[in-house]
Amino acid sequence: MAQIANDISRTFNEYLLIPGLTTKSCTPDKISLKTPLTKFSKGSKSDLTLNIPFVSAIMQSVSDDKMAIALARNGGLSFIFGSQSIKDQADMVRRVKKYKAGFVVSDANLTPEHTLQDVIDLKLANGFSTIGITDDGSSNGVLLGLVTSRDYRPGVDSPEKKIKDFMTPFSKLITGKYGITLDEANDIIWDNKINALPIIDKQQRLKYFVFRKDYENHKNNPHELLDTHKRLVVGAGINTRDYLERIPKLVEAGADILCIDSSDGFSEWQMETIKFVRDNYGDKVKIGAGNVVDKEGFLYLANAGADFVKVGIGGGSICITREQKGIGRGQATALIEVAQARDEYFEKSGQYIPICSDGGIVQDYHMVLALAMGADFIMMGRYFARFDESPTKKLMVGGTYVKEYWGEGSNRARNWQRYDMGGVDSLKFEEGVDSYVPYAGKLRDNLDITLGKIKSTMCSCGALSIEELKRIAKITLVSSTSIIEGGAHDVILKDTKSNSQ
């Protein structure tokens, strides 16, 4: 006879937070949402820390380089989807790492013998308005000049005009020496009222650019998630089939952390994948694993060497694993058990392994519940799929703007590796659906509202940090009738849309 778990499989919707004492010092502006991303020993700190407890799901319809850039600039992290070619995924990682680094490697370069038409074509192709002119047209050739939009007049100057005839020559450029600090570079930019500062070595070879706009953008994005070289932090999803080829390419491209993408992480396949990383890279390459829903699954991945563990099977809005296979567990119940296992493991081993809650988020307050129940951070797909920065199309359906959103287990994605149990290389049946989500606009605007709600709720609990929230939060089960009581009831709601038109 099978082992029967006597506890009920519960969802976030069945719980509410009970207010704690809100002191005068507990205000939203004083709340820290920093949280560890990777494991660490007792008495030390995580090598990677999130500034907000959000990561975007490893999905074609959610996490590409554009989403990764937007989320990292706001303090979170994206795991770029792995259900694409190794080259394409690595290229996405590179674009994130090069997007804004303070010191930016130039991807737009030409030689003096190129023409104005080449400048125009390059600008159309990549959007860059500052072009380094080097002896060989490479990003680290000898710097001979610079071309910006102020150096030529489209429609007036001949497209065949040589760059050497209109570029700003090296003799007139203000440059910085290789090894200069970012603060020193920004001082030169401001003192000389320039927009771009080329950084060159002793041989006059171009190393980087520092841009005025990056300094200003950083001031507008104080929670940016940056590495030690001031580059945006980015993750990448991998599978347990082609990891021998994929992982080295992603590491070479600059991925800060990897995550095994699987609907069921309690498997020897994941242990072997983690072992490959440890054997070849030691602890330098960070790798998360999952998904699991109980103590046994967590301990298996913890002992295998995972840097974090993802919790949740079947709770995603587009996931039908429970419907198709009868596999899974209510997200709240799964998270509570795994969090307890994590804490016990920490006490016994001295190693704290963060857990990521993946799935089951319907309302914003569910995020606070997930954190209070023990999650260190939250992975979301539907939430991020709604924004401009997600890679899908915005469409008009039934008079409403929507964005496409599909699961990795759908026929559209055909990410069979995520659901692989060995055997034939194919998607045997669907475990995800193809759908739409309501279009919500820009990520930053929506994220500010969500984070505001989270901080307000934490104030009501009397917690100034996620760590404190876990320690002091009080949670209660709710009945079906109290759920109804919690919404608007016994009133006639005004049609605010029609009134505002």
Catalytic residue numbers, as ranges: 319, 418
For residues 133 and 109, the answer to whether their CB atoms sit within 8 Å is yes
Side chain identity at residue 255, one-letter code:
A
DSSP code per residue over 288-356: EEEEE-SHHHHHHHHHHT-SEEEE-SS-STTB-HHHHH-----HHHHHHHHHHHHHHHHHHHSEE--EE
Q: Break the chain down into helix, strand, coil percent, rounded to 5.
A: 35, 20, 40
Q: Tell me the C-alpha distance between 234 and 238, whole Å.
A: 13
Q: Tell me if residue 133 falls in helix, strand or coil.
A: strand
Instruction: Give the C-alpha separation, 46 to 353, whole Å.
Output: 10
SS3 374: coil
Side-chain half-sphere CA neighbours of 152 within 13 A: 27
Q: What are phi and psi of 115, to 5 degrees?
A: -115, 170
Cβ–Cβ under 8 Å, residues 365 and 421: no
Q: Is 428 exposed, middle or buried (0-12, 13-18, 19+ CB in 10 A)?
A: exposed
DSSP structural state of residue 161: -
b (16+ CB within 10 A) / e for 135-162: eeeebbbbbbbbbeeebbeeeeeeeeee
**Rama region for 279: left / alpha / beta (φ>0; ψ in -120 to 50; rest):** alpha
